Amino acid sequence: MGHSKSVSDVRKRVRNRWSAFEYRRNAHNSASTAFDDGGIENEMVHNEHDADNVDKVGTPAVEPVPLLQTQAKMSSTEINAAPVEIIDLTSDTEETEVTTSDTDLANEEVPLETAVTQYPFKLIKSDIYDAGRASRHFITLQSIFSEPGLKKVWLFSYQYELDYILPMFCDDVEVTIIAQEGTVLPPTIRTASISKLLSKMKTYFINMPPYTCHHSKMIINQYSDFSCRLFIPSNNFTSTETNLPQQVIWCSPILPPKNSVSGVSIFRDDLLLYLDTYPCDLKPLCVAMEAVDFSRIDNAGVQFVFSAPKPSRTKRRGEHITSGIRLAHQKLSKYHHADRSDHTFNATHHYLSQVSTIGAPLKTKSKKPANLFSHLMIPLYSGINPYSTNLGRQRIDDVPETEELKYLYRKHKIKPYIVYPTDREIRSCPMGYMTGGWFHFHWMKTDFTRLHYRILKQWGVLHKQSSEANNPRAATPSHTKFYMKGTTTSHGQKPFEQLDWCLFTTANLSGHAWGTTTRRPQNYEVGVLLCSDEKHALTAKSASDLIYTNFEGSGRSLKDEKATISHNTCILVPFTIPLGQYTTSDESFCISHNYMQPDSLGNQHLAT
């Protein structure tokens, strides 16, 4: 078999694994033609989420494909990336304010201590929904990858479409890719600029065990003056995923080189612990991180959180690594309220999880289904879990029965929210079922998963976007993963406008992403935790309000130009605030179910 044919076969195999669902049209193809003309590939890319919905049997959702196993024989149509290191993790056993430009990235130009409101979260501008619109709350990958003075970039992701991202870089940038084996589509377009990029590009492939994935999404830029900047996007690096569902990026300020007065940094220490979990040589990146001043991140009250499957100790320092749900608990322990006597008597505590995948249910002691967020995370982070103050004493996961949990929630005035798109929302949004390929909640799969779903729905946990939303994206679902807590003390307050804390992460609602209190995570995940305190106010506002409603292009309110709050960080979220509770007729979108009712473009969703 000729080499060019083998390249085609590899590409076809990867595309086949990423294309699990077919979209057919009953009506004419005019809408599809318009979509193709918009420059977005009319193909649904299968993603990483199936790994969160399987037991330890069956076929893995994404089988590793050794794209670069014959590096010495690679043709010009493949990745000319040297060196390429294949890492095998399968051998060991594992225990159970101000510009209007959409390319402007800088609120870091405003000194933190004098800024009125910081907006570290940006909505990724979509070629489909946002053509011709400008806002400082938009961001593009192009603007990140083409920043002036960019010298080196390290990319962490689950999927790479190199035809899409490489043209965004200047040809003198040194690109390093960290990816799961079989998740990189090599370039088909070979220009002089791309050839120069590829000649310097370093690629580290990690071979993950079945049902797990390298799910982290992170960009670390280093500039010619050795300053750095970090970004955590919700999207992988493919055109369809960037433009179809809603996506958000957390942007750090510019981190200058260290000076003699630079102090220790909790954020940097946790980031280095995470990088130490990789069984490949990321020393140049670690050196770059050790050489910059993280005080602007630390002073903003931002902390780094992560999940990592192994090792349990760092390579360099021999320190024990805590990650996943236990690390988040460690950082949120001061926000316990159920085990404190000084909490406000009339306060209601609102906990929200908005994700793109809801994984397999947990089991209670009576073997009934339980949800990771409502049954394990909230009890842990609120202090209801009897082991909340000392997880080291816990030997098994303490998952309460649903009726017991409902009683405790009433007693401690706790209200859980899980935000997940309904089939009606996906069907009616501008791009219809094509946006649904990234949303995995296989609640129709078995009697056990159906019971899990009925428990959540009848309890009133499931929520959707407000039907009053009026913007070009409408109810387009969000690929983001937000976990947040807000407290209200009166009926007039809206939940989540004021926040106690917010966790923005790549981790979906699954045991593989988070682990449990007794089991380590199985995926690589990253995120940032922001908390309110006496120095930092934390608020949340919908992108619909910041960008599309009563705001000019820069995102500055037309109704209120007066600065009223200092030291406030505003979390831009892609869903509406307030939310709407599921009605009796609402059902969560189930990607493995056939939907014959046409969507807004006339398509049906056929899962088989």
Per the annotation, the verdict on 337 as an active-site residue is no
Candidate from 160-169, 379-388, 428-437, 533-542 with smallest mean pLDDT: 379-388
pLDDT of 107 higher than 90? no
Cis peptide preceding 311, ω within 30 of 0 = yes
Band (pLDDT 50/70/90 cuts) for residue 386 is: low
Candidate from 235-239, 392-396, 560-564 with smallest mean pLDDT: 560-564
| Between residues 51 and 437, the one the model is more confident about | 437
Band (pLDDT 50/70/90 cuts) for residue 315 is: low
Tell me the range of 465-474, 549-558, 585-594 where mean pLDDT is highest.
Answer: 585-594
Candidate from 46-50, 223-227, 414-418 with smallest mean pLDDT: 46-50
Calpha distance 140→129 (Å, rounded)? 13
Q: What is the pLDDT of residue 262?
A: 78
pLDDT of 10 higher than 60? no
Q: Which residues contact 91 (CB under 8 A, 6 or more apart)?
A: none
Mean pLDDT of 249-272: 93
pLDDT digits over 39-76, tens only? 333 333 344 555 555 443 333 333 333 333 333 333 33
Per the annotation, the verdict on 479 as an active-site residue is yes
pLDDT of 558 higher than 50? no
pLDDT of 466 higher than 70? yes
Q: What is the pLDDT of residue 8?
A: 46
Cα-trace Rg, the chain: 23
Whole-angstrom distance between the N-terminal and C-terminal Cα of the chain?
Answer: 32
pLDDT of 79 higher than 50? no
Catalytic residue among 137, 214, 215, 412: 215
Mark the binding-site residues for substrate, compressed into ranges.
217, 481
Band (pLDDT 50/70/90 cuts) for residue 310 is: confident
- The token pair at 584 is 């009796």
> Interhelix angle for 266-276 vs 283-290, to 10°?
170
Band (pLDDT 50/70/90 cuts) for residue 570 is: very high
Entry pTM: 0.83
3-state secondary structure of 160: strand
Band (pLDDT 50/70/90 cuts) for residue 534 is: confident
Other C-beta atoms lying within 10 Å of the C-beta of residue 282? 21
**Domains (range + CATH), the chain:** 325-560+571-581 (3.30.870.10)
Q: What is the pLDDT of residue 40?
A: 31
In this prediction, what percent of the chain has a pLDDT beyond 90?
Answer: 64
Handedness of CA 316, 322, 324, 328 (dihedral sign): negative
Q: What is the pLDDT of residue 52?
A: 57
pLDDT of 94 higher than 70? no
The per-type count for the chain, helices as H runs and strands as E runs, is: 16, 26
What integer best gives the mean pLDDT of the chain? 82
Q: What is the pLDDT of residue 48?
A: 54
Query: Are the CB atoms for 541 and 570 separated by under 8 Å?
Result: yes
pLDDT digits over 164-204, tens only? 999 999 999 999 999 999 999 999 999 999 999 999 999 99
Query: Are the CB atoms for 19 and 218 separated by under 8 Å?
Result: no
* Distances from the Cα of 311 to the Cα of 76, 328, 437, angstroms: 37, 18, 32
Which of left, alpha, beta for 301 (phi over 0: left; psi -120 to 50: alpha)? Answer: left
pLDDT of 313 higher than 50? yes
Mean pLDDT of 467-473: 78
Catalytic residue among 46, 137, 375, 479: 479
In this prediction, what percent of the chain has a pLDDT beyond 70?
Answer: 73
Q: What is the 3-state secondary structure (H, E, C) of 132-198?
A: CCCCCCEECHHHHHCCCCEEEEEEECCCEEHHHHHHHCCCCCEEEEEEECCCEECCCCCCHHHHHHH
pLDDT of 461 higher than 70? yes
Query: Are the CB atoms for 279 and 86 separated by under 8 Å?
Result: no
